[in-house]
Amino acid sequence: MKHMFSFIVCFCLLVPPVVVAETNIMESATPLPGMRGTPLNLPDISVVGVLDGHVSDDKTDSAKDRLELSDVETAFQGYIYPEMRADVFLAIHRHDGEYEAEICEAKASFLHLADGLGGEAGKIHVNFGKLNRIHEHHRPMIDQPLVLTNFFGDHGLVGQGGTLNYLMPLPFFLQFEGGAWRVAGHHPHVSEDVETTQVTDVNGNVVDVAIYEEEPCTEFSLADEVYTGRAKTSFAPTAKSELEIGGSIAQGRGGHYEEHLDKAQVVGADMTFRFWPTAYRRWTFQNEWMHLRREVPVGILHRQGGYSFLQCRLNKYWDVGARFDYADNAFPDKVIERSGSAIVGYHLTETSDLRIQAKRRRVGDDDISEGWVRMTFGIGPHSHELE
Amino acid sequence: MRILALVSLVLTGLLPVCRAESRTLRVVTTSEDLASIVRAVGGDAVSVASLSSGEQDLHLVEPRPSMVMKLKNADVLVKVGMDIDMWVDALISSARNERIFYGAPGYVDASVGVGLLQTPEGKIDGSMGDIHLYGNPHYWLDPVHGKVMARHIAGVLSTLSPERAALFDDRRKRFDAEIDRKLEEWRERLAPLKGTPLVTYHNSWVYFAARFGFEIVGNIEPKPGIPPTPAHLARLVDVMVARGARVILVDPFFPLQGPRAVSERTGARILVVPSSVGGRPGIKTYFDLFDHIVGQLAGA
């Protein structure tokens, strides 16, 4: 009996127990975005790629009839201190036929400086209006609305500096924000393979000089020191709807300030109404309007533009939308552009989707038809702040 | 001077945050299920608001500025966790309320302490569909987990309001007792169905099935979050015929085309069953939810 007991004890000790462990106990809170990296001391790392196809009947469009990788964005996101996080977005994108690397955004965010007060510092997509702050791959459209391109440039208003925002202690949402920035103005891309010619200088020496063709400048953006402000309020008229109203201002210089007098101010207003009739269906009606006041040697220019965007998310995967654009250019020789777009999107995941957009644009008296197809794919935990 | 006094009066009225001591604890939850449990534990000592309704898919709630205001004034945030309500993280940052920041006493992840199913092992990626890193997040559909959540919530409420700790503990015990009593009743009603094979739209009923002895033999979605394809539905029909599955459980927010296509070929009955409090009119508490689910299944 004693031997039998010893045998059973030894058997139990030697033979590992059969574990039918279907369940694991959750021992700590789910880590926040920014705390996901493995090993544990790494930030969240993700990559978003954008593949674009573009067709156009505009003979001067150098990017037409192409299907190419237009953008790859890598993100490194994590907490650097309690209530302080860092988000770095590095991008390689195609510009004028060549790939360029740039810091798309790199910022430290102070989530709680005082009650209701937060801030950000670094290179940031400035919080002006509704769309400027949102990275292109995250927008519900492929191209950028004309008014943003005409007043802020191809990549929108991006500055290096800092911003403070204050959420008012009121029963409804009202937030004020002020920022100071240094903005790189638009510099025309000059090819290194420029033609040269030989001329005789004042000392009688023969020297090589480059030949540049005089081309009218068609791009404008704010530049140098820029100060911005934004107020935004929001109401929920019903449990299934939300109305957001905002006003923005940017004060600074125009991109040509080094060559001549160029003071600029942009004032904007935006209104977004969203309605969720069912769990997945959502209607979005978004509108932005901007006014540019530009002081140049020939006088003071007043230009304006805006867009109106209506979108319906039909179900969990599909959305359809339409956008109407109107925008003046920012130059003394005033040109008005109008366009209408139809947009269809299919969502695979939060960071991966397919989108098609058809657009009819009128510039002055010319009509241009364009179309895009875009596939955006994301790998890893990629997050953006509340839009 | 009078104007100054008037302005001060108005501002005082608008600053509820400044008068924190003598009032009920303000609790915000990400789901109606959690709100129901907080009400059960906190009683009149808490005011509760949920950021989502029971009719919504908790994965895809869109954060809005009006939600920021609820969080700004909250003493406690209770979230489901496990990434099903990740959308609340951006709202917390925007609200700048240090009482509910990650790690603060008022930040409650209700999944802590819960026994999880389908925790992935090894590397996971998009080829597996929308797999959650920390396991299947639909754990509230096991009523026994309701007791774990209630204990966690009662502990946090007691920490924040120690003078009412006995009240919270008493109410928590009554909640537990009610769960135990109802659990017996639900088990009894579902006993004849034990071992019944089920098909569900999404992989959201594993905890419920494990508790009450159902066997889930397939999902309408080929992988979590991936829409059904004709080829997958054809395979599913074969599985259902082979296994004798006669019921398809569908959360109310999912489309019915896929389940109907399968139902037409197998004769299986589609049960549109809410997976959250508020998912159907009249389901106002955590107990109502299970009463409703059990009633529908027992009558199928």
Tell me, what CATH number does B228's domain have? 3.40.50.1980
Q: Does a structural domain hold residue A307?
A: yes
* Rg for chain B, CA atoms, rounded: 22
> Where is the domain boundary, B150, B167, B184?
B184
Q: Are residues B163 and B200 in the same domain?
A: no
Q: From B219, B226, B222, select the one nearest B203 (Cα to Cα).
A: B219
Tell me, what CATH number does A367's domain have? 2.40.160.10
Region A311-317 average pLDDT: 93
The beta-carbon neighbor of B102 closest among A32, A279, A282 is A32
DSSP annotation of B225? T
Are B95 and A167 in contact (CB < 8 Å)? yes
Is A38 a residue whose pLDDT tops 70? no
Region B270-275 average pLDDT: 96
pLDDT of residue A190: 44
Are B255 and A315 in contact (CB < 8 Å)? yes
Is A210 a residue whose pLDDT tops 60? no
A322 reaches B (C-beta below 8 A): no
The beta-carbon neighbor of A111 closest among B14, B96, B135 is B96
Q: Which neighbouring-strand residues pair with A62? A: none
| Residues of chain A neighbouring B69 (CB-CB closer than 8 A) | 171-173
| Residues of chain A neighbouring B122 (CB-CB closer than 8 A) | none
Highest mean pLDDT out of A41-50, A184-193, A326-335, B284-293: B284-293
Q: Which domain holds residue B177?
A: 23-184
pLDDT of residue A94: 85
Give A217-243 pLDDT, tens digit per residue: 678 899 999 999 999 999 999 989 999
pTM of the model: 0.84
Give A358-381 pLDDT, tens digit per residue: 999 998 788 999 999 999 998 877
CA distance A212 to chain B (A): 50
pLDDT of residue A14: 42
pLDDT of residue A16: 40
Tell me what ipTM this predicted complex has: 0.83
* Reported confidence tier of residue A15, pLDDT bands at 50, 70, 90: very low
| Residues of chain A neighbouring B102 (CB-CB closer than 8 A) | 29, 32
Give B151-166 pLDDT, tens digit per residue: 999 999 999 999 999 9
What is the C-alpha separation between A133 and A130, in angstroms, rounded?
7
Token pair 């403070």 is found at: A164
Token pair 């129901």 is found at: B36
Q: Does a structural domain hold residue B18?
A: no
pLDDT of residue B12: 43
pLDDT of residue A3: 54
Please state the domain count of chain B. 2
Is A273 a residue whose pLDDT tops 90? yes
Strand extents, DSSP E, B15-65: 25-29, 46-50
Are A22 and B114 in contact (CB < 8 Å)? no
Instruction: Establish whether the linkage from the previous residue to A39 is cis, with ω within 30° of 0.
Output: yes
Average pLDDT, rounded, for chain A: 85
pLDDT of residue B14: 46
Please state the domain count of chain A. 1
Extract the tokens encoding B184: 């017996």
DSSP annotation of B61? P
Q: Which neighbouring-strand residues pair with A117? A: A114, A166
pLDDT of residue A194: 56
Region A19-47 average pLDDT: 70
A38 reaches B (C-beta below 8 A): no
Q: Does a structural domain hold residue B146?
A: yes
Highest mean pLDDT out of A42-46, A76-80, B47-51: B47-51
The SS3 of residue B49 is: strand
Are A29 and B107 in contact (CB < 8 Å)? yes
A251 reaches B (C-beta below 8 A): no
Of all residues in chain B, the percent with pLDDT exceeding 70 is 93
> Where is the domain boundary, B127, B157, B184?
B184
Q: How far is CA B111 from the centre of its chain?
A: 10
pLDDT of residue A19: 34
Is A18 a residue whose pLDDT tops 90? no
Give B178-234 pLDDT, tens digit per residue: 999 999 999 999 999 999 999 999 999 999 999 999 999 999 999 998 899 999 999
Q: Are residues B169 and B244 in the same domain?
A: no
A314 reaches B (C-beta below 8 A): no
Q: Does a structural domain hold residue B1?
A: no
Closest residue, chain B, to A113 (C-alpha): B96
Of all residues in chain B, the percent with pLDDT exceeding 90 is 82
Q: Does a structural domain hold residue B273?
A: yes
